[in-house]
Amino acid sequence: MGEQTVAGEQAVPTARDHEERIVPATVVHLNTLLDHHARYWGDRDLRSLHLTALVQEFPTTCLVAMADDGIRGYIFGFVTPDHVGYVHLIATREDARGTGLGRRLYAAFTDAARKQGAQRLKAITSVANEGSIAFHRCLGFAVREVEDYNGLGQTRIVFTRTIDAD
């Protein structure tokens, strides 16, 4: 299958013989994600974490995986002044799980963050989010529990990983 891409897009063949394009997220994408929130997050309501400002201000590190059947997944983050690529959200649609899409999204984010000078990656999750903990471990992240990370009594799991130089 021939792969054609538009500037800034990365074509990635999937197991379903479709093409995914990982592209910068727009406000239209964000609104679509919010309209279909449960397909990515199930019963967890994380809509308040989907900040328009992230998409507006960090277009190279807020990415969506587009295919013929819509947005299959996304990763939103930014690079801090301390050279950390911080992943604020990553999710895959329920029918795209297990295809390696999460890894591909992280690879695209890492590449974009590296180009902006990031030397490390960081993400956080709740202590109860076993799927996220297992996923980040598989990606080579160090995992540590930090008490009061998100305020008094709000323990979080903090993931960190060095970005390998090319």
- Position 165 scores a pLDDT of 61
- Position 164 scores a pLDDT of 83
| CATH architecture label of 16-162 | 3-Layer(aba) Sandwich (3.40)
CA pair distance 34, 47, nearest whole angstrom? 6
- Position 19 scores a pLDDT of 79
List the domain boundaries for the chain.
16-162
Tell me the mean pLDDT per 10 residues along the chain, length 166: 41 53 97 97 95 97 97 98 98 95 97 97 96 96 96 96 81
CA pair distance 122, 106, nearest whole angstrom? 11
- Position 4 scores a pLDDT of 37
